[in-house]
């Protein structure tokens, strides 16, 4: 019973975190067709905004949503400065890798300058611990497991049941056709980046509530998000979400039976094998779209 609970809880927790990390990255790829390599730094910045607001005396319930909204603004500005001016140029994907990496480096060093290198921690979503099936877990982790599917469901409803969501799904598929039906593509690109940055901030707040935060805390989550997105398929946002939970459970099983030391190697072996058989990603179709 202990083993099952351990794997189940570990898989759900890691899967939830990976899904939150990856979904914003996938959203930007499916709408604009670029990879935002500052996505990990945006997670870090969101967590630092939340920490600063809590440090100024705001309650977590107030600080966290404000940090998420602030990050929407950061995402919009980031898109307007390092992505939008390059749209339509040759080698857009490669150029944006460089510009977003550069922007990420600037933000990272700015945070280091402003808040210093000392590690920080923000309050958990819910304080306390509990026993589940004989396994001791924090309520913060349980909150992440519960909240993540709600956020992802809200995102799905937004994309599939609202006027703006329909517009985002359209612009993801054909920019010229989108303009032709009156869609303001520039505004929609900004919106996609703003939503992605908000989702990154949420992931950062989740991370900052159970591990120490530093200005370089975004590097590992960015790598994980990239793995999830490539594994799940970069043609949609649902693929990476399923992949996130699959990887979460894969890691939970591997770390239980083979230990943490072997887990990354086994994960990469599985990833390489999967991509050899299905290069477009395990849950992907061959065309791009926000489904």
Partner 1 sequence: MALLEVENVAKAFGSLKAVDGVSFKVEAGEIFGIAGPNGSGKSTLFNTITGIPFGPDSGKVRFDGNEIQGLAGHAIARRGLARTFQRETCFDQLTVFENAEIGATYANEARSGAKARDAAAEALAFVGLAAPSWGRRAGELSVFERKILMLATAIASDPRMLLLDEPASSLTKPEIELSVELIRRIAARGITILLIEHVLTFLMSLSQHLLVLNQGRVLALGNPREVIAEPRVVEAYLGTRRVAA
Q: Which residues lie near partner 1 (CB under 8 A)?
A: 88, 163, 166-167, 169-170, 173-174, 176-186, 285, 287-291
Q: Please work out, in degrees rounded to the nearest 5, the angle formed at the alpha carbon of residue 141 by the alpha carbons of 136 and 209.
A: 120
Q: How far is the CB of 71 from partner 1 (least distance, A)?
A: 27
Phi and psi (nearest 5°) for 130? -150, 165
Helix (H, G, I), strand (E, B) or coil at 128: coil
Residue 267, Cβ density class (10 Å: 0-12 exposed, 13-18 middle, ≥19 buried): middle
- The answer to whether 151 and 20 have CB atoms below 8 angstroms apart is yes
Q: Please work out, in degrees rounded to the nearest 5, the angle formed at the alpha carbon of residue 79 by the alpha carbons of 75 and 82.
A: 125
Q: How far is the CB of 75 from partner 1 (least distance, A)?
A: 22
Q: How far is the CB of 192 from partner 1 (least distance, A)?
A: 16
Query: Between residues 107 and 170, which has the closer beta carbon with respect to partner 1?
Result: 170
Report the chain's C-alpha Rg in angstroms.
Answer: 19
Query: Between residues 2 and 186, which has the closer beta carbon with respect to partner 1?
Result: 186
Q: How far is the CB of 31 from partner 1 (least distance, A)?
A: 12
Query: Between residues 121 and 173, which has the closer beta carbon with respect to partner 1?
Result: 173
Please state whether 91 falls in left (phi above 0), alpha (psi between -120 and 50) or beta: left
Q: How far is the CB of 88 from partner 1 (least distance, A)?
A: 8
Query: Between residues 30 and 99, which has the closer beta carbon with respect to partner 1?
Result: 30
Query: Between residues 80 and 135, which has the closer beta carbon with respect to partner 1?
Result: 80
């Amino acid at each position: 019973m202990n083993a099952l609970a351990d794997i189940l809880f570990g898989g759900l927790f890691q899967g939830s975190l990976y899904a939150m990390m990856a979904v914003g990255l996938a959203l930007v790829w499916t709408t604009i067709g670029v990879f935002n390599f500052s996505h990990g730094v945006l997670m870090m910045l969101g967590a630092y905004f939340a920490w600063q607001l809590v440090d100024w005396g705001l309650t977590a319930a107030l600080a966290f949503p404000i940090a998420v909204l602030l990050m929407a603004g950061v995402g919009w500005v980031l898109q307007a400065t390092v992505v939008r001016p390059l749209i339509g140029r040759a080698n857009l994907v490669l150029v944006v890798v460089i510009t977003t990496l550069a922007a990420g480096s600037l933000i990272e060093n700015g945070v280091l300058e402003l808040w210093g290198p000392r590690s920080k921690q923000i309050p958990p979503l819910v304080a306390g611990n509990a026993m589940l099936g004989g396994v001791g877990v924090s309520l913060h982790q349980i909150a992440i497991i519960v909240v993540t599917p709600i956020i992802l469901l809200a995102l799905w409803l937004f994309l599939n049941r609202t006027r703006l969501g329909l517009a985002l799904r359209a612009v993801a598929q054909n920019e010229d056709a989108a303009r032709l039906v009156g869609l303001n593509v520039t505004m929609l690109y900004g919106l996609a980046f703003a939503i992605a940055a908000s989702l990154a901030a949420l992931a950062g707040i989740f991370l900052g509530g159970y591990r120490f935060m530093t200005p370089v805390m975004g590097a590992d989550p960015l790598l994980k998000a990239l793995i999830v997105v490539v594994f799940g398929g970069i043609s949609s946002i649902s693929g990476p979400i399923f992949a996130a939970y699959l990887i979460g459970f894969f890691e939970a099983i591997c770390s239980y039976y083979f230990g943490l030391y072997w887990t990354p190697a086994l994960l990469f072996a599985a990833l390489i094998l999967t991509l050899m058989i299905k290069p477009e990603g395990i849950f992907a179709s061959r065309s791009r779209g926000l489904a």
